[in-house]
Structure 1
Amino acid sequence: MASAAAGRTGRVNEDFVGAVPAAAVLIDGAGGVSGGESVCRHGVAWYASRLGGELLSLLSLDADRTLAAQLAEAIERVADAHRGTCDLADPRSPWAAVAILRLRDGRADHLMLGDAVVVLDRPGAPLVISDPREVTLAEPYRSALAALAPGSAEYERVRREGIDVMRASRNQPGGYWVAKEDPRAAAEAIVGGCPVSELTGAVLLSNGASRIVDLFRLANWPQVLTVLASSGPAAIIRRVRQAEARQAVAADDATIAYCTDVANV
């Protein structure tokens, strides 16, 4: 069960979600800043959907390879598809966070790269898997901007400094890692697994959906799982949109893949 909603009306959702019988993939596309069209003519939505499609194909055809190896190949395939027309090394070219869940031989394997979230539902407390590196690096600049007047000279100085630092730190040691043009980034992904028998379900969320917990504090993860079980992913996204409107926070693309009955896959 999946739900996806673009951040703004009339704008394409730059997330991707898809599944094959024993795996689910969520891609949270990013980039598309001013001037990006001259760098990559395809855009963020194309990158996210192309990367997601390549991953689903690989997951369907070759279940014996590690998730990191499959992600590396998918990144390379997408890079090959547009390196002849686009400047992939430019920091403005599209990139993405990636979350994968695969069920195989009685195990549930997961991969996380970037700021998406995987939640494994199990008796007792759920296991929440996230990649904090990008958020940790950006937090000092977000906090500083929150204390400044938008549009002021100091606000613009801090904003530009933050952008420069994040660009320089992307896919670099000591920085943070995402899917972009370099397949070696896949080796930096957070991976793990557990017996399928320990799970009652699993959830993949883009950071626009996970903000119900990590930004707005409207629920904890057990409460999110309860809402998903009773009302489905659309109910979570609806609550996020209401919070964005109340707090005048810019809406972000929000996507959720809710995987149930995993023990019988």
Structure 2
Amino acid sequence: MRVSMTSVAARAGRVNEDFTGAVPAGAVLVDGAGIPGGEATCRHGVAWYASRLGGALLALLAPGPGRDLRDLLAEAIERVTDAHRVTCDVADPIGPSATVAMLRVSGGVLDHLVLGDCYLVLDRADGAPVVVTDPREVVISRSYVPALEVAGQGTDEYQRILGELRAHRNAPGGFWLAKDDPRAAGEAVTGSRPISELSGAVLLSNGAARIAGELESIGWPEVLAVLASSGPAEIIRRVRRAEARHAVRPDDATIAHCTGLDEA
């Protein structure tokens, strides 16, 4: 398997809180997430959490098949939590967390997992992409937008409503992220596809995937065509241009483009 990767921070001078990496038969993308004030609960920070989780996942993927991807993610979450359990308040709801996309190829099959609003796009040989993501956070957050807009940022009412929204995280009926509880891995979206059906696969952070979603600049078939001709960096350049055009605040943007799946 061949993997082309590009990861760019939201703006110059800002720490990139995304992570991506690959082993011969697998790839991982982690999109770190934080809440203002989180530094008071964890001295390491979001970028540390994302890179440690990504590194643990790659180490667990490296031996090859044999375990369900949800089990690997659960173990990786446990490893990272143990790494800062003594020094940090790992259970505090505003501590570092992350969304995850990963894939593994073996025995003619591609297994994939998505937890949170990362994206995985399967480039099918018949030209009809399959887009895999977990929309629960987006759907739940959208229902709170009108009340937040009425309350006004910085008010006590705004903070109360925001607290209600955050209470849905890693809770039954809510949305799920990698944080301190390995049971969140059981809520991941998973699946498998025969490699013979696929020309490639792409992992994207939500900051990169907005080119075909939030910004709606181009569709997924065009994204795949640009990746094939010009690589991930060109997609991220287009993301930045679209953000500027729509006056959207930039986000960290990361892409891992996997081809040659039958060579793993």
1:161, CA displacement in angstroms? 4.3
Corresponding position of 2:245: 246
> Pairwise mapping of residues 95-114 of structure 1 onto structure 2 (< 5 A)?
95-114=97-116
Please show how residues 1-265 of structure 1 align to structure 2 within 5 Å.
1-31=4-34, 33-61=35-63, 63-122=65-124, 123-142=126-145, 154-156=152-154, 159-265=158-264
Contact 1:138 1:162 in 2 (8 A): no
Give the secondary-structure state (helix, strand or coil) at the position aligned to 2:10. Answer: coil
Amino acid at match of 2:6: S
- Residue by residue over 1:71-110, the C-alpha shift from the partner in whole angstroms, topping out at 9 and shown as x without a partner, is 0000000000001000011111100000001001110000
Q: Secondary structure at the match of 1:64?
A: coil
Find the aligned partners of 1:236 and 1:160 in 2 and give their Cα distance. Answer: 36
SS of equivalent to 1:34: coil
Contact 1:7 1:13 in 2 (8 A): yes
Equivalents in 2 of 1:240, 1:144: separation in Å? 29
SS of 1:61's partner is: coil
State the shift of 1:200 in Å.
0.3
SS of alignment partner, residue 62 of structure 2? helix
SS at match of 2:53: helix
Structure-2 separation of matches of 1:199 and 1:81: 38
Decide whether the 8 Å contact of 2:170 with 2:184 is kept in 1: yes
Contact 1:108-1:194 at 8 Å conserved across structures: yes
**Cα contact 2:21–2:27 (8 A) shared by 1:** yes
Worse-superposed segment, 81-90 or 61-70 = 61-70
- 1:37 Cα deviation from its structure 2 partner: 1.4
Poorly superposed stretches of 4+, deviation over 2 Å: 140-145, 153-163
Output the CA distance in 2 between the equivalents of 1:162 and 1:103.
Answer: 43
Q: CA deviation at 1:245?
A: 1.4
Q: Distance in 2 between matches of 1:159 and 1:133?
A: 21
Q: Structure 1 stretch 187-196 or stretch 159-168: which is displaced more?
A: 159-168
Q: How far, CA to CA, are the matches of 2:172 and 2:121 in structure 1? A: 27
Q: 1:263: how far off?
A: 2.0
Following superposition, the deviation at residue 241 of structure 1 comes to 0.7
Cα RMSD for the two superposed structures: 1.5
Partner SS, residue 169 of structure 1: coil
Runs of 5+ consecutive residues of structure 1 not aligned to the other structure: none
CA distance in structure 2 between the partners assigned to 1:238 and 1:251 by the alignment:
12
TM-score (norm 2): 0.94
Cα distance between partner residues in 1 of 2:160 and 2:70: 32
Cα distance in structure 2, aligned partners of 1:19 and 1:212:
23
Q: Distance in 2 between matches of 1:143 and 1:120?
A: 34
Letter in 2 for 1:57: A
Q: Which AA in structure 2 matches 1:225?
A: L
Paired residues in the alignment total 259
Give the SS at the match of 2:43: coil
Name the TM-score, length of structure 1 as normaliser.
0.94
Are the counterparts in 1 of residues 127 and 221 from structure 2 also a CA contact under 8 Å?
Answer: no
Among all aligned residue pairs of Structure 1 and Structure 2, give the percentage whose two residues are the same amino acid.
61
